[in-house]
Amino acid sequence: MYRAQNGPFMVGVCIQRMDLCATLGEFVMSKMRDEVRYLRDRELLRLRVEHRSQMQDAA
């Protein structure tokens, strides 16, 4: 999340690609929010499965 100079908060994936940013309001009301949540949840599941044995050993 970034703050535009004297402007709104912006959501983006990379500061080098500011052209792909959306305002916070646009992001929250768009399908992008659901896509990001889906990808985040999928990646978390993948990491949990991949590292399950390490997590069990630590417990």
pTM of the model: 0.64
What is the rounded distance in angstroms from the CA atom of residue 39 to the CA atom of residue 30? 15
Query: Residue 59 — pLDDT band, cuts 50, 70, 90?
Result: low
Read off the tokens for 57. Answer: 């050993």
pLDDT score at 56: 73
Q: How many domains does the chain have?
A: 1
Secondary element (H or E) of residue 10: strand 9-11
Per-residue pLDDT of 3-56, as tens digits, reads 878 888 988 877 788 778 899 999 899 998 999 899 999 999 999 999 987 777
Q: Which domain holds residue 36?
A: 2-58
